[in-house]
Chain A
Amino acid sequence: MKILVCVKQVPDSWAEKKLSPAKVLDRESADAVLNDLDEYAVEEALRIVEANGGAEAGHTITLLSMGPERAQEALRKGLSMGADAALHIHDGALAGSDALSTSRVLAEAIKKEQPDLILTGTESTDARMSVIPSMISERLELPHLSFAGDVQVDISAGKVVTKRMTDEGVEAMEAPLPAIVTVIEKINEPRYPSFKGIMAAKKKPITQMSLADLGIAPNEVGTGGAWSEVKDFALAPARGAGVKVVDEGSAGSALVEFLAEKRLI
């Protein structure tokens, strides 16, 4: 079985983010890391392989990322967790790509790779759109099992079974392979790369791909090909300085007074 995991490099979610004068995310202003939420997808891929006979059984894990040169660092992190190989789609023309372009590029790469199972995170912590996986599903007409809190692959039956966790409750879902599964952060505890893993990752292959390799014209993606346009941005008005009281036995009542004044009760 061939598993492909979509991972993105993002500014550290602990950092304050801002837009650059060019109206795109200022990626220089924060450390770049592997999207925390994609670590769960990498971990789940490793567990699926381990539960099905391991690498010896012929299962492989390939990471797929579209991003600038330094996205390789994020790929190395995933490789050091235990993935076997990585594909890096890197092309100057991709700068400023929106969700439609990104999903198209990833879909073309997936078509080339022909994996049996595609795993993704629920959201990239920078774009926060949560739309890429369903867009890929729509483009490739592959079933999408979203919000998976549990994933079981039945290789002989050629299907994947998940538990979908939503507000409505827990839904058991299934689909034939190949399929796309989006995993939630409660599914597992991602492992820390071991020293051995980090050393081994240095020798694992990262294959570079350009737009030409995927048969996509440069003007169809990036800022020029974008389907939406940022007109302007502004810092949100700062919240007015609030009241801060130290409880000396009656702060709960003061709180009620405040709520009453604001007509919230």
Chain B
Amino acid sequence: MSKVFVFVDHTNGAVAKTASELLTLARSIGQAHAVIAGTSSDLDAAVPVLNKFGASSITLLESGEINNHPSSAIAIALADLAKSQGAKVILLPSTARGKEIAGRLAVRLESGIITDAIALTPELVSTQSVFGGSTLVHSQIVKGIPVITIRPNAIEPVEAAGSAAIEKVAVAAIITAKITSREPAVRGARPELSEANIIVSGGRGTDGNFAPIEELADALGGAVGASRAATDAGWYPHSHQVGQTGKTVSPALYVACGISGAIQHRAGMQTSKTIVVVNKDPEAPIFDIADFGVVGDLFAVAPQATAGIKARKG
């Protein structure tokens, strides 16, 4: 059976949700071959999850330094491995890091690249949702080992217990651009925005007060997002921005509060499965894509919804 390479993103061995999605997709095409870059202890932490989602084999690109050289060393090692093992296709998450590696891989392998796919058939025909979700494009790579990045949350992860063979490949640290120090982001208890199943976002309408947004997100067990107006004003960190120049998200539920729905915001959330809107202005364009829209004040509607959800959960 053909080998479908899956690049596994992780933080200190904690595997990103995208890996379970990519492994699920890989199994529908061929044998899932997981590739993870980092140390042996990262690998040990990751193996149980990779087995749970049906990896047939796992390769560790081993280097203690690899995390200090964002993408070039990984791309070189991954390209060599894909060539020597005859990969049929390489799947990566459509995240900032995934795309950086993917671009390099395509150059090294002289292969075609498709980014932000939301589906992929066994014949490797990909579907992309473009122009803010208004158009679906089907394309296929015609040269090389196809390099395809898959949008987070586009594939429903399905477990398939297995026990993968493990191999380690030493990677030489290639020092070009290097990270000299880090200030890790303070992570709250909320899920990661790009992985979240539920997102509650606030915009200019919050007037800087995100408390009702955060409380509703917490009641729903979701992540908090923001429009660019809100991040530009410094009300919420840039890493929470949804839209053209922020994250593209596709959760089961997206709740937009006090957001008008500019085309650049919609570009990042329009493919969410269910969209709920709370906005004072009945003419706001965001209502055009709402499954459930409330014309009202978010400072009244959101707290009432939060209380209602808490009451139900008991």
Q: B-contacting residues of A (Cβ < 8 Å)?
A: 13-14, 16-19, 37, 98-100, 103, 122-123, 125, 128-135, 137-139, 141-147, 164-175, 179, 184-186, 226-236, 239-240, 242-247, 249-256, 258-260, 262, 264-265
B140 and A231 contacting across the interface, CB-CB below 8 Å:
yes
Shortest beta-carbon distance from B261 to chain A in Å: 13
A175 and B107 contacting across the interface, CB-CB below 8 Å:
no
B253 and A264 contacting across the interface, CB-CB below 8 Å:
yes
Q: Of the listed stretches B25-33, B48-56, B286-294, name the one at the interface; the rest are far from the partner chain.
A: B286-294
Taking CB atoms, residues of chain A closer than 8 Å to B97 are 166
B313 and A264 contacting across the interface, CB-CB below 8 Å:
no
A264 and B176 contacting across the interface, CB-CB below 8 Å:
no
Q: Which of B71, B113, B185 contacts A169 (CB 8 A)?
A: B185
Q: A26–B134 Cα gap in the complex (Å)?
A: 14
Shortest beta-carbon distance from A103 to chain B in Å: 7
Q: Which of B70, B137, B302 contacts A233 (CB 8 A)?
A: B137
10 nearest interchain CB pairs? A252-B304, A247-B296, A227-B112, A131-B103, A256-B308, A143-B176, A143-B177, A169-B185, A175-B177, A134-B103
Interface band, chain B? 35 or more
Residue B244 at the chain A interface, CB threshold 8 Å: yes
Shortest beta-carbon distance from A40 to chain B in Å: 10
Q: Which of B80-127 contact A (CB under 8 A)?
A: 96-97, 99-104, 106-108, 110-116, 125
Scan B159-201; emit 1 where CB is below 8 A from any A CB, else 0: 0000000000000000011111111110000001110001000
A229 and B139 contacting across the interface, CB-CB below 8 Å:
yes
12 contacts between A and B (CB under 8 A): A13-B264, A16-B131, A123-B245, A129-B99, A168-B182, A171-B182, A172-B182, A228-B140, A239-B275, A239-B291, A242-B292, A252-B294
Taking CB atoms, residues of chain B closer than 8 Å to A245 are 292-295
Q: A128–B229 Cα gap in the complex (Å)?
A: 21
B300 and A255 contacting across the interface, CB-CB below 8 Å:
no
A168 and B112 contacting across the interface, CB-CB below 8 Å:
no
Q: A235–B306 Cα gap in the complex (Å)?
A: 36
- Which chain A residue lies CB-closest to B182? A171
Kindly list 6 other residue pairs between chains A and B, CB separation below 8 angstroms, not including A99-B106, A253-B304: A98-B113, A130-B103, A134-B71, A135-B107, A227-B112, A253-B305
Residue B64 at the chain A interface, CB threshold 8 Å: no
Taking CB atoms, residues of chain B closer than 8 Å to A131 are 99-100, 102-103, 106, 113, 115
Q: A249–B296 Cα gap in the complex (Å)?
A: 9
Residue B274 at the chain A interface, CB threshold 8 Å: yes
Taking CB atoms, residues of chain A closer than 8 Å to B198 are 264
In this complex, the member of A137, A184, A243 whose beta carbon has the largest number of chain B beta carbons within 10 angstroms is: A137
Given A134-B103, A230-B138, is A260 in contact with B131 using a C-beta cutoff of 8 Å? no
A259 and B296 contacting across the interface, CB-CB below 8 Å:
no
A99 and B103 contacting across the interface, CB-CB below 8 Å:
yes
In this complex, the member of B140, B282, B304 whose beta carbon has the largest number of chain A beta carbons within 10 angstroms is: B304
Given A16-B263, A132-B103, A135-B107, is A259 in contact with B253 using a C-beta cutoff of 8 Å? yes
A185 and B245 contacting across the interface, CB-CB below 8 Å:
yes
B180 and A174 contacting across the interface, CB-CB below 8 Å:
yes
Q: Which of B104, B141, B276, B306 contacts A134 (CB 8 A)?
A: B104
Q: A221–B91 Cα gap in the complex (Å)?
A: 25
Q: Which of B259-301 contact A (CB under 8 A)?
A: 263-264, 274-276, 278, 282, 287, 289-297, 300-301
A167 and B185 contacting across the interface, CB-CB below 8 Å:
yes
Q: A115–B17 Cα gap in the complex (Å)?
A: 40
The SS class assigned to the A binding surface is mixed
Q: Which of B137-161 contact A (CB under 8 A)?
A: 137-144
Residue B78 at the chain A interface, CB threshold 8 Å: no
B113 and A252 contacting across the interface, CB-CB below 8 Å:
no
Given A144-B72, A171-B182, is A16 in contact with B103 using a C-beta cutoff of 8 Å? no
Taking CB atoms, residues of chain A closer than 8 Å to B142 are 226-229
Q: A27–B191 Cα gap in the complex (Å)?
A: 39
A247 and B300 contacting across the interface, CB-CB below 8 Å:
yes
Taking CB atoms, residues of chain B closer than 8 Å to A236 are 129, 133-136
Q: A240–B292 Cα gap in the complex (Å)?
A: 11
Shortest beta-carbon distance from B196 to chain A in Å: 12
In this complex, the member of B140, B296, B302, B307 whose beta carbon has the largest number of chain A beta carbons within 10 angstroms is: B296
A170 and B139 contacting across the interface, CB-CB below 8 Å:
no
Taking CB atoms, residues of chain A closer than 8 Å to B252 are 264
- Which chain A residue lies CB-closest to B296? A247
B303 and A19 contacting across the interface, CB-CB below 8 Å:
no
Shortest beta-carbon distance from A132 to chain B in Å: 7
B96 and A233 contacting across the interface, CB-CB below 8 Å:
no
B112 and A100 contacting across the interface, CB-CB below 8 Å:
yes
